[in-house]
A and B are shown apart, each in its own frame.
Chain A
């Protein structure tokens, strides 16, 4: 284990957590694990083109969402499937991006969840801008941007934390430090002692929390959100965790990390850990745990059933929302494609345009 990982946590686990919150964390993490396992199965069956697993990061994804209010906004990356599920988005809508029928399966406005973002760290700026607009409007919402350890090397991450700190925008930057950016370990991303340390350079608050300890993540994010709402500006929360699966199903992680390392993190599994904790302190009993397990089985069953029906894709939709009023060229191209699909059009002409030449040739 590297020196970076040995740095101390600055947000220790809380002594107590309201029973309802603890049970909500547990339920959402168990559901998230079931969802993630089912999605990974879909990749093996060819039903998903690609899927970046959240396995091992459930505490980092569930706890922040449950620590926020419904009026707050979340800005997820492509790996935040379990966070989006916890936000209340239907499982099949969470997976739409990866199934490939649409770029975003849910209504971002209805859930106050931005589309899953694949260009790294760019969403951090969207969060900062939305939060800043809310601040000037006297609206006490908070924006939470999920970001990975690798993306903290991107320029937009720096620009976003700096902007939010200067403008005192109510943002929580939740860095899931899962140790790898695909294959590149954290030691090659940064010479900083911790990622949380970076906050100091921006004049922002920075905390480092055990990302496999759901109550600790919950408290760290709740405190950061409270500080942001009170005008205290942004917080960079580094949640130290581990990506249990390869980057995606298309990745081969045997090329860059030893199996013993994965096994050592398996012993820190966040779902099993919370379950042990809650059973030990009496928050959870076997019957309640069984009920949650049943609910998780139901979620998987429903998701599998939903995936039995192939998605309906309307190719014409690609033209529909490019501009509010599609310009002439797009209308012509849409008409040409419609002609192709109807088998009646001239498939060789890309723009569907009546050219001057053809008009004259016919005359």
Chain B
């Protein structure tokens, strides 16, 4: 199969998450002449994770190009291109290497529409591979979502499945607002049988990935498969856990989350990012505010520790796993008959 025919893959063909992102970029470049892809090493090399593989060859240097090694320049020039009418899709090579561009993202990308009262919306997508679990050396494993979630004007999305990776990237590129598109590094090589192109619906909606009746696990990105494993393990113990994949972090889908928690009465938020002022703090606060009288127990969080991301040889002790999730579930104030089971 050539790279150019990925999106015509037969329904059900196995495709990696990175491959689905590549197809989404290719299909977006084909669908709209204003889409441009640029960043560090994205053209000749095809990106350090090969997400942009083959795009420069197919679409030429004006549509997909390597920039000088300067992240603020990548975001800042994307703003100018969007002002001109382009739809830039830019790559920050790694989570922690996006920080030099923080001022452009927070002071300009997030605010341009508001400060010009709609005259200059910025339809641009910032792709950021994020999170750990890949044995990366220092500064290659940050879960940086909360910095963007805390900035009004940004839409922050974090797909966890191959189908969502494709669909949500297409939807992000089509959005007239700037989108921070967080790619779960450790799921890049995960395969699913998905026919592309696929549309999983508009941004802004969570999805129930597994139905359950006893408690709700709320996760996003790389924590979703871990939450699903925990639900599977709990089922063996007779506990029925529902798993909600947030998918979009800002604005997040309070309705789907709260509807689930109202059904189950218990909730655990799971993510890889730090717990203190982390993404789960907002979810837990919202659930508590809106579902208080349905809750049988305090909303708990299972998160990364409040430490700088540790060296790769000990990262397995940092990352929230099935055991920690089940431990939290066990602490959800179960009636006596449940305690033993949990």
Contacts and interface: CB of A to CB of B under 8 A. Distances in A.
Given A126-B80, A357-B292, A156 B72 contact: yes
Contact of B79 (A126, A137, A322, A327): A126
Interface string B273-314: 000000000000000011111100000000000000000000
A128 B76 contact: yes
A317 B118 CA distance: 11
A108 B77 contact: no
B120 A327 contact: no
A126 B290 CA distance: 42
Interface stretch (B109-117, B226-234, B325-333): B109-117
Give the residue among A163, A317, A321, A322 with the most B Cβ atoms within 10 A. Answer: A321
Contacts of B119: 104, 107-109
A119 B290 contact: no
A126 B152 contact: no
Give the residue among A317, A323, A329 with the most B Cβ atoms within 10 A. Answer: A323
Interface string A211-234: 000000000000000000000000
A159 to B, nearest CB: 4
B76 A126 contact: yes
Given A104-B115, A108-B120, A143-B80, A322 B204 contact: no
Contacts of B175: 324
B68 to A, nearest CB: 6
Contacts of B73: 125, 128, 156, 159-160, 162-163
- Which size class do B's interface residues fall under? 35 or more
A161 to B, nearest CB: 10
A166 B68 contact: yes
Interface in B208-265: 251, 254-255, 258, 262
Give the residue among B115, B177, B255, B294 with the most A Cβ atoms within 10 A. Answer: B115
Contacts of B204: 327
Interface in A62-117: 73, 102-104, 107-109, 114-115
B107 interface: yes
A102 B76 CA distance: 23
Give the residue among B114, B152, B177 with the most A Cβ atoms within 10 A. Answer: B114
Contacts of B83: 73, 114, 126, 129-130
A133 to B, nearest CB: 4
A45 to B, nearest CB: 26
Contacts of B116: 103-104, 107-108, 115, 321
Contacts of A107: 116, 119
A128 B70 contact: no
Interface string A312-340: 00000110111110011100000000000
A322 B118 CA distance: 8
Contacts of B262: 356
Given A119-B107, A128-B77, A323 B153 contact: yes
A347 to B, nearest CB: 18
A134 interface: yes
A131 interface: yes
B291 A130 contact: no
A129 B79 contact: yes
B152 A322 contact: yes
B339 interface: no
A277 to B, nearest CB: 37
B294 A356 contact: yes
A115 B152 CA distance: 19
Contact of B108 (A126, A130, A159): A126
A275 interface: no
B100 A322 contact: no
A353 interface: yes
Interface string A154-195: 011001101100100000000000000000000000000000
Contact of B62 (A136, A322, A323): A136
A159 B251 contact: no
Interface string B159-173: 000000000000000
Contacts of B112: 115
B84 interface: yes
B155 interface: yes
Given A130-B84, A156-B76, 11 more contacts: A104-B117, A119-B103, A126-B80, A129-B78, A137-B84, A156-B72, A156-B104, A320-B118, A328-B254, A355-B289, A356-B293
Interface of A: 73, 102-104, 107-109, 114-115, 119, 122, 124-134, 136-137, 143, 155-156, 159-160, 162-163, 166, 317-318, 320-324, 327-329, 353, 355-357, 360
Q: Which 8 A-B pairs have the closest CB atoms?
A: A125-B76, A129-B80, A129-B77, A130-B80, A327-B251, A103-B115, A159-B73, A133-B84
